[in-house]
Amino acid sequence: MDDELLKLECLKMARETVHYGADLTTEAQRLFDFLKGRGQTAEPDNERPFKDYKPE
């Protein structure tokens, strides 16, 4: 997906989660970075959230 199109989709998603103003752009940037794989660090298994979750 083109980055510009992805940015627009991130803005839409941020708006749907009731973010406005500066919060809207911050949330959209956070979503964009997550989807592009930026700012993610490898966590050891013992620090991962939902580690013990087992689907029924």
Question: pLDDT confidence of 2, banded at 50, 70, 90?
Answer: confident
Residue type for position 44: P
User: Domain spans of the chain?
Assistant: 3-36
* CA dist., res. 33 & res. 31, Å (int): 5
Split at pLDDT 50, 70, 90, the class of 9 is very high
Residue 42 has pLDDT above 70, yes or no: no
Q: What is the CA radius of gyration of the chain?
A: 15
Kindly report, residue by residue over 10-41, the tens digit of the pLDDT.
Answer: 999 998 987 778 888 888 898 888 888 876 66
Does pTM top 0.85 for this prediction?
A: no
The answer to whether 28 and 11 are in contact (CB under 8 A) is: yes
